Every structure is written in C-alpha cells, then in structure tokens.
Chain A
Amino acid sequence: MTTHLTRPATGADKPGPAAPGRLRNLTRILVETPEAGIIAACVVVFVSIAANASTYASVGNLQVMGRDLAQVGILAIGESLVILTGGIDLSVGALAGLAGILAAWFNVSAGMPAPLAILLTLLICAVIGWWHGMMVTKLNVPPFVITLVTYTVSIGAALAITGGSPINGIDPLFSNLSAYYVDQVPVPALFFVGAAVIAWFVLERTYVGRQVYAVGGNKEAARLVGIPVARRITATYVASSCLAGVVGILVIGRMNVADPSVGGSGWELTAIAAAVVGGVSLFGGEGRIIGIAAGAILLEFISNGLLALKVSAYDQEMVQGAVLGVAILLDRLRARRFTRVRS
C-alpha cells in the first residue's frame, strides 16, 4: 500500500518518507473511513451542547429529535440514493408535502380507510419517481430540471387540492404512527432506523446496490459490463419519491392535520446538505449510509441544539449555515490532506 500511496499516479516522484507503522495505520483508517470525521463531529456537538443546556440530553428532547430525524433522515436517505447515481432530486420536500395532503384527502374527502389512503399515496409517489427515472434515462432530461418541475407542480397541487386550507379530521392511525413510542423511542425514529438499515443492506449487501454504485461511479463502465443502467437509476428515483411519501404521511400524523403550507419549505436542501455532510459526492458513486445517517443526525443535533441554547430565532438559520460551512470546510481539508498523495 505504501508503494502507491506515497507515489503519485503520474509516477513522477520519488517515494516520500515512510510514516511510522502506527501512524500509517491510523492514516489508512481515516482515508478508508471518510465517515469517521462526521461521526466524531456528532459526538463533539452533542456533548458540548449538552454540557451547556440542561434540557438538551433529556429524554423528552431526545424524543423530539428522534421524530425530527424521521423527516430529515428519511428524506436524506432517499435523496442520497439518487445522488449516488450522479443525479439529484429537488422534489422530495414538496413531494412529501403533497403526499401528506393526498393521504389526508383520500382519507377525509374521498372517505377511504386510512391504510388504503396510505397505500394509494405511496403508489402515486412511486409513479412520480418512475416518471423521473424515465425522463432522466430515456430522454436525457437533466435530473435537476425534471425534479424541479415536480417540485413546482407538487406545491401547486397541494394548494389546489386543499384550496389553501388545512384538512382536519384525519384517521387516528396517522397520528398513532407518529405519536406512539416503543420503549420510549418514538415510532418515526424507528422508521428512520428501518429505512437506514434497509438502505444499508441493499446498498452494501445486494448486487443491485453495488451496481448502483457502479452506475454512479462510472456509467460507461457499468454499461459496458451489461449492468441495466437505466433500471438502476430509475429505481433510485422511485425509492426517493416513496420515502418522500412516507415522510409526508408521518408529518401529517405528527401535526394531526394536513397543512398545505408545510411542504416545500426547503426540506430537500436539508436532505442534500445531510447527504453531502455525510460524505456523499454530488458527482455520484461515493458515500455510504452510515455517513448519510450521521450527516442527518448532526444537522438535527445542531438545529435542535440552537433551540436548547436559546439562540435567537432570527439568528438560528445563519448559525446553522455557518456550522455547515465549517463542517464541509473541515471535511475538504481532511480529504485534501489524505488524497493529495493520490492525485
């Protein structure tokens, strides 16, 4: 390993001084586990906020964070799947909003039983994801553009369906999904964990998942070895849209009302931020679920921590942005330090 790590790919250099064995091992672990930094950041942020705000680490607040995580985290997982193929899905936030409205409308206005309403909503989300995949793979529409279309249409549809006013009186099943606890762990947090575990399993342990990485890392290579590139890409859009649907349904349950003004409030950007902070490359092919989950957790720790620290509501977003900026800066510095030898 030393041979090529210390010698640039151009081969135009003499080997650098050999690092001592232990340091080299540590370096190797850091290079090969880009998530190490983000996980460390989660710990540092949590501990330092908890030390300054007594309520932060309380069970009640942890439960709040767990529920929030279901939103940011599940969206981030879906978003990451798309980004892994080299695409982007701007529609997830707005689609989550629309999904909530649809489920409520099917349930309340159309009089469907809640399970059927949920199923139908998820089905519609799947179709929308499939449509994204088709447009991207068959007609070469840039993912940015086609999902922006859905973003706009979804916000509009949510308003059009409801006429702008919230839908009340949804089935208790919705709020039960969001309000129940299992051993003090809120159910939405379990959804997040479940989504993360399934995504991890599919990405790391199945051929289909590994092929998603191959498609994102080098589309041409994937095509030449006979991987069904279009199908893999489409599948990620379907998964992303369905996960957005799940989030939408959890959100209306949490608020016990379907509010058309909730969707599209920048969730997709938070999801993208969580993915990027978690080590997902926007060029595709790089990033793991553990990092993505850690990224989402870090963002939640920070935004909730600002509340706990009683930072003025007007300053919160600025502080959040700044923290993100610093996190990314540190990550890039680390990456540069450990990849300089590669290039």
Chain B
Amino acid sequence: MTQSQSKAQSKAQSQSKPQSQSQSDSPDAPGRAVTARLRGVHKSYGPTRVLDLPELDLYAGQVVGVVGENGAGKSTLMGTLAGSVHRDGGEIEIDGRPLVPGSTAAAQQLGVALVSQEFPLVGQLSVTENLMLGRRPRASRRRFLVDRKAQRAEAAAMLTDIGLPPDSVPLGREVRLLPAPTRQLLEIAKGWGRAPRLLILDEPTSSLGPVEAALVLALARRLADEGGTVLFIGHRLDEVREISDRVLVLRNGRLVADLDRAQADEDRLIREMVGGEISHLAPKEALTEGEVLLGLSQVTADGLGPVDLEIRRGEILGVAGLMGSGRSRLVHTVAGAQPATGGQMVLDGRRYRPRHAMDGVAAGVALIPEDRKEQALVLFAPIKANVTVGVLREISSRGVLRPGRQRAEAQRIAEGVNVRMQSVDQPVGSLSGGNQQRAIFGRAFAAKPKLLLRDAPTRGVDVGAKAEIYELVDRAAAAGTAVLVASSELEELLWICHRIAVMNHGRVVAVLDRAEATKERIMTAAAGTAHDPGPAVDPAGPAEVNPSTEPGTWGAA
C-alpha cells in the first residue's frame, strides 16, 4: 500500500466513525426523517460477534448501499431488520415505532420487506399464490376462504406495478417451472407489493440480465423518491455506486465506513471492505510448452458440439459464452455429469469415456460445483468429514477408517489451503463463505486431480473471496493441474486464464491467447456468427455477456 493511499484510508476511517456521522447528520441528508433507527444492535453466533452497530440511522428518501465481504455482517444486518434473525440486544425503531426482535411478522407490520437472493418462494405453488403468500387480497372481504379472483387481480397488479408487461408471467404456473430470473422478479414483486417503508434488497440483480436489473434499480429509486428507504446489498460495486445515495461498508460485523455517493469510488470501497489492498494479478502469458493433458476431438453432447479443444498441464483455460452457449455443458460433459454422444476425449494419453461423474473422478477429474451449500458441502458435518470424503479409501486400512488418521489428514488438507478454523471438528457450516470455499478446494486437491473443472465460480462471492478463489486456482495450476473454468464474468476469465475459449451455440467459435483476448473480442465472438472476431462491436458492457430473455418473455407462453 502506498503512503498516500494509507493516509487516505486512515482519514476515511476517522471521518466515517459511525457515532460522529449520525449525530451530526450526514451532509447529504440534512433534517431528513429517519426511517430506521438502530441503537446498540448486536448479534453473536457462539463466541463470534457477527454484528455490532452502536448507532446507525437510515434516512427517508435514500437508497443506501451496503457492501462488505462474505461474513462482514450484511446478511445479519438485513435479517435483524427483517426479523428473520433474532438480535441479541439493542433497539431498532422503524418510523419511530419499536421493532421487537426475531419476528418477521412484526417487521412486516412496520413496513420492512426483505427481498432475498435465495428466492424463498414455494415452488409447488402458483405465481399468484406465491405473490399473495401470507396475506389476503386487499380487495377481498373474505376472511377464511380464498378469493381467487381478487388474488389473481392483485397479483397481476403487483407484477404490473414493478414494471413488468401484463401477461408476461403466467399467473397460474407453478413457480418451480419458471426460470431463475423470473423467480427473482417474483420475489421482488412480493416485497414491493407490501408497500414497504424499508425495502431490503439482497443482491437482487445477481441472477438477472441487464433489462431486469435496470427494472430493479428503477424500483429502488422510485421507492426512495416516494419517501421510503432502500437498503441495497450488492457485490457489484459499480451497480451499488450507481444506485446509492449513501454507501455503508461493513467489515467483521462493524460499520467501517459511511460514505456519501461522491466519496464512494470503487478503489475506496474495496479498500474499506478488505481492510487493505488486494493484490492485482498480472495478465498471464500463454503456455506454449507442457504436454497436452486433455484433448477433445469432435465431441458432441446434448446441446453441445462438435467441439475440438486441448488443455495442457498447468494451464488455466477459460470458457466464455452467453447464457445457453453450451459453456456449462462443456464442463459437465468433461466431468462425466452429462453423457457425450459422439467424438473422442483423450485424457493423459488414454481414451476417456466417462458415463458418470464417478468415472471422471476415477480418471483424475475433479469438478468443483457451482453451489457450495447445495452441491458441495454437508454443512452440519464437521470439516474433517467434508474434506476427507474423497480420500476415505486412501486413509483407511483394509476398509476400516482410522479416526486418528482421518483427523490428521483433514488437518493437513485444511491447513494446506489456509482454512481459518478453530478445529477440524467444527461443522463446516460454521465457517465463513470464503473459508468454506477453501475447504472445497482442499478436498478437491486432496484427491490429486489431473484436471480441475470449475463452473460459474463466483455467483454471490465478494471481492475478497474471489481473490482467494483465484489464488487457489493459480496454485492448482502451478502444481501441474490443468484447470477448466467456465464463467460469465469476463474480467474474471481475463484475470486468471492463460487462454480463453469462446462458445456460441454449443461450439467453440474462438480460442484466444491471453495476450490477444480483450472483452470486446470475446464478446464479438460470443454474440456474433463470425468465427473470426472482427473489430470490436459497440461494447454494451460486460452485462451483455449474461443476457436475459427479452422483455415479454419471462416464462410467458
């Protein structure tokens, strides 16, 4: 860190002491009414204090961005306000009325609505029923009987109200049949429909394309203009800066910076979030040496191919492409999770024909799944069980597991990837997100894979944890493992990869060395029909890489 930077930072910190801030009123909010007043709110899980806010006021008419690393206390703050987390102590007032701890019903009564990124919708129920969940239509006088007509009318009005074209979402459809972006929009409509005073948006745009994301940002602005308050939690800093009047930075459960819009530039936010500076990795040279580990020739699968591709040992190969380009399919086909229907794969000089993910594992291919909670970890099981699950045979003698040996091996694996933990006996779910991620990598490395596959690695992962993932990927490659990474985030691929394969309609349309790869060239190849990337098209920004369905097609007929 340079001297000027550190000076700026210490200045920022002294300036942004929460106490002084809220007593003397934020400069851009003079005399505003306070929507939410928090005093001495704190929450601990075991010995760890995950939230500690001596004093915080949220003003009416503002969009307040909240940023912080995983485990910084963002979710706890939101949950405390929404009543889903039972705070240990402190007072919260919404519009001057006290909020009892730990009751979602009470929070709703006071006008707090939480839109979560986890889509807490009931998949088996219809769109209408989900939108109306837990309440009755305003226009209905029936107390016990469901008034379907009124429900449908109100549900339709809710969707129109957030700016969706009428009939763009089929109201009678079961929610589980709808694509993820539509479900996210429903969740937003659900929160919006409660006419909230304080709307908490938890990474609302992470699963949305640019059209829907713009819609959500417009909603946040609208509520603020109408005198409400929006708490906007985001990982995409540019987006948070764009929408917010004020940005709060949390670190280790504390408010470390309280910035107005002008102060909140990206560098500053990142510095405050990580409490230092993250190292920027230099672009990598293409690997020209090293033997080919995996070769694909004319490989086809459902929605894929034919694909020709080669990966060398120690190489990190990125796979870019729009949604539906076959990016994930390629990874899954190589892993054996999706059967190949034609062509040949050669792994380490041998014919490789996986029928199941099991075959892939046996051949030395490790897939690190997309969703660490659902697909990768048994959260309530101890770290030692989670990290040794792939090497149980190796650490058993004659089929009998030795607890001592398992523990020692787990210790070695976890320390090898710097998992910050108290002991390998604690549940892996008690670790922070970044450390869970490390544990997963540790487990994958323990099986000494020749080829590591990673699909969409960073949804919902913050800046600091991303850097950790990159570092772990680098480490694997340095040890001679070939790494295949599919991602929709171009910066990420440009950051970590030696080469980038661009996919379009199930085929690899370009393979770019890092030196020649630019966002524009990748996008041209990904979006166009030409195999040779021409001059840069109008850069609609990286968001374009994750296009959504057109307006009017949110799962509609």
Instruction: List A residues at the B interface (Cβ < 8 Å).
Output: 1-5, 7, 9-14, 204-211, 213-214, 216-218, 220-227, 285-286, 342
Contact = CB atoms under 8 A, between A and B. Distances in A.
Contacts of B327: 12
Given A7-B179, A224-B84, A206 B144 contact: yes
Interface stretch (B122-130, B262-270, B427-435): B122-130
A221 B121 contact: yes
Contacts of A3: 549, 553, 555-557
Contact of B303 (A12, A222, A225): A12
B104 A205 contact: no
Contact of B122 (A1, A7, A207, A285): A285
Given A213-B124, A221-B120, A226 B134 contact: yes
Interface string B50-93: 00000000000000000000000000000000101000000000
Contacts of B84: 223-224
A9 B179 contact: yes
Contacts of B104: 223-226
A224 B82 contact: yes
Contacts of A12: 303, 323-329
Contacts of A218: 120-123
13 contacts: A1-B170, A3-B553, A4-B182, A5-B177, A12-B324, A12-B325, A14-B506, A206-B146, A208-B144, A209-B146, A222-B122, A226-B135, A285-B122
A217 B123 contact: yes
Given A12-B324, A14-B324, A221-B120, 12 more contacts: A1-B555, A4-B555, A9-B180, A11-B323, A206-B145, A209-B146, A213-B129, A214-B129, A218-B121, A222-B134, A225-B134, A225-B190
A206 B143 CA distance: 9
A8 to B, nearest CB: 9
B125 A213 contact: yes
Nearest to B107: A226
Nearest to B103: A226
B236 interface: no
Contacts of A205: 145-146
Given A12-B328, A206-B146, A4 B133 contact: no
A211 B125 CA distance: 10
A206 B179 CA distance: 29
B476 to A, nearest CB: 25
Given A3-B549, A217-B122, A14 B180 contact: no
Contacts of B506: 14
Contact of A1 (B105, B118, B182, B557): B557
Interface string B530-557: 0000000000000000000100010111
Given A4-B179, A206-B145, A207-B146, A224 B123 contact: no
A12 B557 CA distance: 19
B302 interface: yes
Of the candidates A13, A14, A225, A285, the one having the most CB atoms from chain B within 10 angstroms of its own CB is: A225
A2 B327 CA distance: 23
Nearest to B146: A205
Contacts of B116: 224
- Binding site of A, secondary structure by majority: helix, strand, loop or mixed? helix
B133 A221 contact: yes
A19 to B, nearest CB: 13
A211 B159 CA distance: 22
A220 B555 CA distance: 25
Contacts of A216: 124
A3 B176 CA distance: 14
Interface centre among A7, A210, A285 (most CB of B within 10 A): A210
CB-based closest 9 A-B pairs: A225-B134, A221-B120, A217-B122, A226-B105, A13-B303, A217-B124, A1-B557, A218-B122, A285-B124
B323 A225 contact: no
A141 B463 CA distance: 40
Chain B binding surface, main DSSP class: loop
Nearest to A343: B176
Nearest to A228: B105
Interface residues of B, number: 48
A225 B144 contact: no
Given A217-B123, A223-B104, A224-B120, A1 B133 contact: no
A11 B324 contact: yes
A207 B144 contact: yes
Contact of B125 (A5, A7, A13, A210): A210
Interface string B299-333: 00011000000000000000000011111110000
Contacts of B407: none
B145 A11 contact: no
B513 to A, nearest CB: 26
Given A3-B556, A207-B136, A217 B326 contact: no
B178 interface: yes
B482 interface: no
Interface string B181-220: 0100000001000000000000000000000000000000
Nearest to B123: A217
B412 interface: no
A2 B179 CA distance: 12
A112 B553 CA distance: 67
A106 B121 CA distance: 48
Contacts of B178: 4
Contacts of B146: 204-207, 209-210
B474 to A, nearest CB: 27
Contacts of B323: 11-12
A2 B556 CA distance: 8
Contacts of A226: 104-105, 108, 134-135
B448 interface: no
A142 to B, nearest CB: 14
B173 interface: yes
B548 to A, nearest CB: 9
Contacts of A208: 144
Contacts of B510: none
B174 to A, nearest CB: 8
A226 B135 CA distance: 9
Given A4-B555, A210-B129, A225 B135 contact: yes
A217 B135 contact: no
Contact of B505 (A4, A14, A211, A213): A14
A137 to B, nearest CB: 16
B114 interface: yes
Contacts of B130: 221
A211 B329 CA distance: 38
Contacts of A210: 125, 129, 146
| Among A5, A206, A224, A227, residue most surrounded by chain B Cβ atoms (within 10 Å) | A224
A293 B135 CA distance: 29
Contact of A14 (B121, B190, B303, B549): B303
Contacts of A13: 302-303, 324, 329
A211 B557 contact: no
Contacts of B105: 226
A222 B133 contact: yes
B122 A221 contact: yes
A7 B328 CA distance: 14
Nearest to B183: A9
Nearest to A287: B124
Q: Which residue, of A1, A7, A211, A226, has the highest number of chain B Cβ atoms within 10 A?
A: A226
Contacts of B114: 224
B136 to A, nearest CB: 6
Contacts of B173: 1
